A and B are shown apart, each in its own frame.
Chain A
């Protein structure tokens, strides 16, 4: 059985990338409501 660790390794999803995503949170948070609204009408 394939584990989540295997999946992350196969995508070479590294700790620095996790950090990059964390830094993006404050930029994504304000417009996310608009994205979810548009999600149902696209």
Chain B
């Protein structure tokens, strides 16, 4: 049998194996079927599970041995005693297979139980971990919104302290940031309640940051190439944001 070849390569092992299997057959006929015989059968099962021999080969081997013992009974036992002999041999072989096969089932159950327990623990941990991350995100967004409010206050203060143009445009940019943070917070709360992830908002963050930079750089008369870069970035991100909000809008299920 091809699946068993790897167990039979080593000569020393094969000799030991022959002896084990030889003794096992003879013990079928020695008449001592007590608890220690039971324990020995369980050990046999565990030995095969341990080496990784598929249960299938044990069943096939048992069938082979059953057939060989039947032939011996046919040849060696008086015909009127053959039925009894065959019944007794079949019973002891089935008993053996019962106990050996059970060790296989128990081992399989143990493995399934172990992996399902491990799966549960990993999933529980992942749940708690993502919950923690989400809470960090919400707290971070709350902090950001407070920061945006502080920025607006600073901009308004600079309007009243003589820097009218800079303060006004800065306040405009800060309002834009605040609006975006509010959108992000709402989207995150919505997602925590089971809503979909809104990718276009994250592109919006970049977009708003660039718009604000552009507003400030236009009044502080920065280099024209820097301004051109900001405008280019705004156009690219604006286009991506538009594409994303279109596709997210399309994916929404519309009520009929």
Interface residues of A (CB under 8 A from B): 3-4, 7-8, 11-13, 17-22, 24-25, 27-29, 31-33, 35-40, 42
Contacts and interface: CB of A to CB of B under 8 A. Distances in A.
A18 B1 contact: no
A13 B77 contact: no
Contacts of B98: 7, 11
A32 B26 contact: yes
Nearest to B86: A20
B88 interface: yes
Contacts of B255: none
A28 B42 CA distance: 24
Contact of A4 (B25, B34, B77): B34
Contacts of B112: none
A35 B76 contact: no
Q: Which of B22, B26, B35, B81 has the most CB of A within 10 A?
A: B22
A20 B83 CA distance: 11
Contacts, number: 92
Contact of A36 (B25, B31, B73, B76): B25
Interface of B: 1, 4, 8, 14, 17-18, 21-22, 25-26, 28-31, 33-35, 37-38, 61, 64-65, 68-69, 72-73, 76-77, 81, 84-85, 87-89, 91-92, 94-95, 98-99
Contact of B85 (A3, A11, A20, A35): A20
A21 B89 contact: yes
Given A20-B85, A39-B65, A11 B91 contact: yes
DSSP majority for the B interface? helix
Contacts of B34: 4
4 closest A-B pairs (Cβ-Cβ)?
A4-B38, A25-B29, A17-B88, A27-B76
A25 B76 CA distance: 11
B89 A32 contact: no
15 contacts: A4-B34, A11-B98, A12-B91, A20-B85, A20-B88, A21-B31, A22-B31, A24-B77, A24-B88, A27-B73, A28-B25, A28-B26, A32-B26, A35-B68, A39-B64
Contact of A21 (B29, B61, B65, B99): B29
B29 A7 contact: no
A19 B29 CA distance: 9
A8 B95 contact: yes
A22 B26 CA distance: 10
A15 B21 CA distance: 25
A37 B84 CA distance: 27
Given A20-B84, A35-B68, A42-B1, A4 B26 contact: no
